[in-house]
Amino acid sequence: MTGMSRTTGKALGGNDHLAQSIGDILSTPLGSRVMRRDYGSMLPDLIDHPLNGDNRLLVYAATAMAIRRWEPRFRLKRCRLAAV
């Protein structure tokens, strides 16, 4: 799939387009798109929450659910926090 870079406006394809798409999905709060209220993820709502076991699980679940629903080109096999 070919798309457009959000920063340059130039054509974007392959893994670069996929990475941009996943970033957009995960950073868009649910309910913020006017004609597509269910687009996005719960991740923005989890910002500034304590990083305990329960919230870590919520981060994993929010990531997995959003990617599974909105990005058919990508299959998440595992999710891991790299740094805190």
What does the alpha-carbon distance between residue 17 and residue 65 come to, in Å, rounded to a whole number? Answer: 20
pLDDT over 70 at 80, yes or no: yes
| Position 7 pLDDT exceeds 80 | yes
pLDDT, tens digit, 9 for 90 and up, residues 62-75: 999 999 999 999 99
Predicted model pTM: 0.86
Q: What is the rounded average pLDDT for all residues in the chain? A: 92
pLDDT band at 33 (very low <50, low <70, confident <90, very high): very high
* 70 closest CA partner among 16, 28, 7, 9: 28
